[in-house]
Structure 1
Amino acid sequence: MHFQPLLNYIAKHVALTKEETDYLVEHLHYRRYLKGQYILQQGDVCRTSSFILKGCTKLFYVDDTGTEHIIMLGVEDWWTSDIGSFINQTPAEFNIQCLEDTELAQFHYDTIEEIFERIPKLERFFRKVTERGLAAALNRIIRNFSMTAKDRYLFFRATYPKIEQRIPQYMIASYLGITKEFLSKIKKQVAQES
C-alpha cells in the first residue's frame, strides 16, 4: 500500500481503528512528482498538506532580486506545505519543488475538515505535528541569530546527516543563510580539525 509509511507515522502518535484507517485511506491522494517538478508555486493557493513517502523537497522563497532563500528541506516521513496558504486558502508565499523523484500522501483542504469530524483524534494529531513544526521553526530562528555559520553547519550536519548527501552544497548554503563559497571554507576548516 502506498500510504503505509504515513499510517506507520500516525500510529506512533495515535491509534486508529481499522474503520478509521480505511476511511482515512479513502480520502488520501497519492501523487508522484519528478525531480524538478513543483508541488506549489508562489502565488498559487496551497490546496494540500503533503506527507513525503519517498523523495526530497525544498520549500523556498524567491525575493524581488530573484534570489532563492531555502526555508525548509523535506525527506521521507516529513511534511511539506505552505501552512499559511493551506490554512487560510490565500496565495502562497513559498514554492515547493522536488529535489528527487518524490511520492506524496496528500490531504486536500476540501476534505480535511470532514476527516477531522469523522476521526477527531487526527485533529489532535495534526495539532501536535503543527506545534512541533512551529517549535522547530522558532528554534531555527534562534540558531540563526545566536550561532556562528560554522556552528549552524555543524548542527545541520549532526541533526540531518542523510540530507547533506542528497542535495547540492549551494542549497545547504542557502538553507544556512550563507554563500556556497563560505560553506566551502567552513567545510575545509571542519575537515582540518577532524
Structure 2
Amino acid sequence: MDPDSVLKNIAKHIELDENEKSYFLSLLNEKKYLKKSMLLEEGEICRTINFVQSGTLRSFFRDSAGKESTIMFAISDWWITDMACFLNQQPAMLNIEAIEDSNILSLKKEDLDDLYIKIPKFERFFRIIMQNAYVREQIRVIQNLSLTAEQRYHIFLEKYPEISKQVKQKQIASYLGITPEFLSMIRANKSK
C-alpha cells in the first residue's frame, strides 16, 4: 500500500502525528478492482467507506425496469460509499462499479467508529467530507430542478473535466438525467 495519497487527502483537513498516521493506516484494507467489477451491489450490507487511490468508480441506482441512474463518480483522491446504508449498516440501495481498473483503500464501519474514539479529530475530517458531499448533492438537485440539460452538461464539464474524459457518454447522460441520444444532440450543438 502506498499511503501517501490517503495521508495527503487527510492532511487537507486535519493534522496527524506519526502514531496517529500509523494507527489509521493499520485499519485500511487495500483492494484492487478490475474494470467492470463491483465493489458493492444493491442488497449487500454496505460495510466500508472507500478511498480511491487510482482508477474511476461510479455509484448508480437501478430501477425495477433495469434503467441505471448514475448518482456519483469517484476518481483518484475521492471517497465513495452508499452513505445512508454504510452509516446504518443496512442493505445497499446503490451499486458501486469500477469503470476502469482501480486501487481502493477500504475502511470498515466498526474501524471508523473505533477511529472516532481513539483519534477524535477524525470526526472532524469525516464531518467535513460528509458536509461537502451534502452541499454538492443539494446544489445538484437544485440545478436539476432549475437548469436545462445543456446548462447542466456545461457545468459538469467545467466542474469535472477529468471525469468527462474518463467515463462513457452514456454514464454522463445517466448522471445528468437525460438520454444518451439527447446528450449527443447537446454535444453536436456545442461543436457548431
Question: TM-score category by the smaller chain?
Answer: over 0.9
- C-alpha deviations, 1:79-98, integer Å up to 9, x for none? 11000110001111000000
Aligned to 1:96: 96
Q: Percent identity of the aligned residues?
A: 38
CA distance in 1, matches of 2:37, 2:169: 20
Segments of 5+ residues of structure 2 without an aligned counterpart are: none
In 2, are the aligned partners of 1:39 and 1:98 still within 8 Å (CA)? Answer: yes
SS in 2 for 1:91: coil
Aligned to 1:164: 164
| Match status 1:174 vs 2:188 | no
Segments of 5+ residues of structure 1 without an aligned counterpart are: none
In 2, are the aligned partners of 1:2 and 1:30 still within 8 Å (CA)? Answer: no
CA distance in 1, matches of 2:102, 2:152: 27
CA distance in 1, matches of 2:190, 2:68: 26
Aligned to 1:138: 138
Aligned to 1:151: 151
SS in 1 for 2:191: helix
CA distance in 1, matches of 2:68, 2:113: 34
- CA shift, 1:112, in A, is 1.1
Aligned to 2:83: 83
CA distance in 2, matches of 1:25, 1:73: 24
- CA shift, 1:3, in A, is 2.2
The 5 Å alignment of 1:57-136 reads 57-136=57-136
Letter of the aligned partner of 2:116 in structure 1?
F
CA distance in 1, matches of 2:26, 2:93: 30
TM norm structure 1 = 0.97
CA distance in 1, matches of 2:134, 2:149: 22
TM norm structure 2 = 0.98
CA distance in 2, matches of 1:162, 1:111: 32
In 2, are the aligned partners of 1:34 and 1:98 still within 8 Å (CA)? Answer: yes
CA distance in 2, matches of 1:105, 1:130: 18
- C-alpha deviations, 1:139-192, integer Å up to 9, x for none? 100010001000000000001111111111111111110011110110011111
CA distance in 2, matches of 1:30, 1:62: 27
Shift >3 Å, 4+ stretches? none
- C-alpha deviations, 1:36-75, integer Å up to 9, x for none? 1100000001100001110000100000101011111110
SS in 2 for 1:178: coil
Aligned to 2:24: 24
How many pairs were matched up? 192
CA RMSD of aligned residues (A): 0.8
Aligned to 1:55: 55
In 2, are the aligned partners of 1:55 and 1:102 still within 8 Å (CA)? Answer: yes
- C-alpha deviations, 1:103-132, integer Å up to 9, x for none? 111110121111111110011110110011
- CA shift, 1:4, in A, is 1.3
CA distance in 1, matches of 2:112, 2:163: 30
